[in-house]
Amino acid sequence: MFSLRSISLIAAIGLCHFSALANEPDDIKQQLAALKAQIAALEQRLAEQEVANEKATVLLTQQKADAADDEADTDKDGIKLGGAIRTNYSHTSYSDGNKNRGGDFAFDIFRLNLNGSIGDVLLNAEIRFFDYMTAVKYAYVGYQLNEDWQVQAGITQVPFGNWPYNSHNYFFSTNYYLGLEDDHDLGIMFKRQLADNWQLDLGFFKNDELGGVDGFVDSRADRYSYDIVGFRQSDDGIYDDPAQPLGEYNTFSGRFAYQLAHSSDFTTELGVSALAGGLHNGRNRAGSYNAWALHLNSHYQRWNLQLQHGEYQYNIDDVDRMAVGAYAFYDSIAAKAKTSTINLAYSLPIEWGPVTGLQFYNNYGLVYDKSDNSRDTMMNVTGFSVAAGGLFTYFDLVHARNQPFVGGSAAGDSDETERRFNINIGYYF
């Protein structure tokens, strides 16, 4: 098949032939003019085709490059490294030395976070470094079974109560110090994503994050979240190392939540949570424990209201006080009690230099009807948080009775209300 360039060459030869033979009569002139026009048209088409071919080559090259980029993005795997460095200032009513110094400013934590995926397997982990201990908060692998369900295995959060936190402040709620908020244990959890207005989390936890009652660790108090580590005898002190060690094991936990959409800017999540498991002394089963809670988490425009009420119970013969461990020290809680919390927060987006958001809150918690007949534990936190680039800061004014980290113990018997003003400054990367 002839190309446009071949046709043009043939036409040019014909033109030369006509020029040689012609005596320039009118009919010859007309034929020559027509032939010149055809040659011009053919040359124009040839030029257009060459430009089109060049554009097609460039487009094909770009499409191949885009396809390669898309394939690279699709196949991209990797683990991201993040973390935080936090410092803390506190001024308290229960320490004469602290008051005399005008408060204390100290290092809080350095932490590292890992998250990402390799293939279809997810990874999420956090390790925290304190002056006095090192603790793994969570470390698990996950797999997305389908669009709605994900499985997590390792040290993962126990599904219970308002999720992921039943609080807004730096100190969490009174439930945290009972092991009923932001608790992490070793096991497996199945999470159903929110779909059709409902969500379900089901977990089985073999033991706590330190390996249970006979885990190979230097101290069973070197952990992030509170767990049972023993029970108290009548002559034990509140802060003593537990003489009778215990560990949680074979715990089942479930959390069901249903979301109501009142309007586009008004939603309410209603939920119920429950857990039950065994207690082991290292040789035999020593008892059992259980807990339940009803919870509400409502968002209206910039407002957030959280309500929660529940009960817990550790069932061991002739025992009304348990030993717990966290943050490198031991404390005590009643073996049975009721707990209620109410939290209100207001979020305010703002553009003020690096400041992009403020949240104002008041969180109140009460632990009462205790089996050891100790006085109620109460904590009220009024404060606000500030987001500014990589910085996130809490300003908290805490009033509390028989509350850990505020001059007391969850098994204390004081009627004095203590105060703590606290500023926690964190840089997150």
Q: Does the pLDDT value for residue 84 go beyond 70?
A: yes
* Residue 391 within a domain: yes
Q: Give the CATH number of the domain where residue 230 resides.
A: 2.40.160.10
For the CA atoms of the chain, what is the radius of gyration? 36
| Together in a domain, 58 and 85 | no
Buried (b) or exposed (e) across 118-149, using 16+ Cβ within 10 A? Answer: eeeebbbbbbbebeebebbbbbbbbeeeeeee
* Residue 301 within a domain: yes
In three-state secondary structure terms, 399 is strand
Of 12, 39, 70, the domain-final residue = 70
- This prediction has a pTM of 0.82
| Together in a domain, 14 and 88 | no
DSSP assignments along 65-114, one per residue: HHHHHHHHHHH--EEEEEEEEEEEEEEESS-HHHHHHT-EEEEEEEEEEE
* Residue 122 within a domain: no
pLDDT at 45: 54
- 113 within 8 A of 426, measured Cβ to Cβ: no
- 197 within 8 A of 305, measured Cβ to Cβ: no
* Residue 171 within a domain: yes
| Together in a domain, 337 and 249 | yes
142-147, long-range: CB < 8 A, 24+ apart: 144/120, 147/193, 147/195
Q: Does the pLDDT value for residue 51 go beyond 60?
A: no
- Taking residues 70-78, what's their average pLDDT? 58
- Close Cβ partners of 116 (under 8 Å, ≥ 6 residues apart): 77, 78, 79, 80, 122, 123
Q: Does the pLDDT value for residue 37 go beyond 70?
A: no
* Residue 21 within a domain: yes
* Residue 182 within a domain: yes
* Residue 135 within a domain: no
Q: Which two tokens stand for residue 227?
A: 């767990």
| Together in a domain, 384 and 314 | yes
Of 43, 70, 97, the domain-final residue = 70
pLDDT top residue among 37 and 156: 156
| Together in a domain, 273 and 323 | yes
Q: Does the pLDDT value for residue 55 go beyond 60?
A: no
Q: How confident is the model at residue 77 (pLDDT cuts 50, 70, 90)?
A: confident
pLDDT tens, residue by residue, 16-30: 343 443 444 555 555
CA-to-CA separations, 248 to 203, 207, 311, in angstroms, rounded: 14, 6, 18
| Together in a domain, 28 and 93 | no
What is the rounded average pLDDT for all residues in the chain? 88
Q: How confident is the model at residue 394 (pLDDT cuts 50, 70, 90)?
A: very high
φ, ψ of residue 253 in degrees (nearest 5): -140, 140
pLDDT tens, residue by residue, 309-345: 999 999 999 999 999 999 999 999 999 999 999 999 9
- Taking residues 285-290, what's their average pLDDT? 98
Q: How confident is the model at residue 12 (pLDDT cuts 50, 70, 90)?
A: very low
Range of the domain at 151: 80-112+145-428
pLDDT tens, residue by residue, 113-167: 999 999 999 999 999 999 999 999 999 999 999 999 999 999 999 999 999 999 9
| Together in a domain, 61 and 94 | no
Q: What is the DSSP letter of 416?
A: P
| Together in a domain, 30 and 169 | no
Question: Which residues are registered as beta bridge partners of 263?
Answer: 266
Max alpha carbon distance in the chain (Å)? 136
- 362 within 8 A of 344, measured Cβ to Cβ: yes
φ, ψ of residue 302 in degrees (nearest 5): -95, 5
Of 14, 39, 70, the domain-final residue = 70
If one counts the domains in the chain, the total is 2
- Taking residues 396-417, what's their average pLDDT? 97
Q: Which two tokens stand for residue 85?
A: 């460095």
Q: How confident is the model at residue 277 (pLDDT cuts 50, 70, 90)?
A: very high
* Residue 130 within a domain: no
| Together in a domain, 288 and 321 | yes
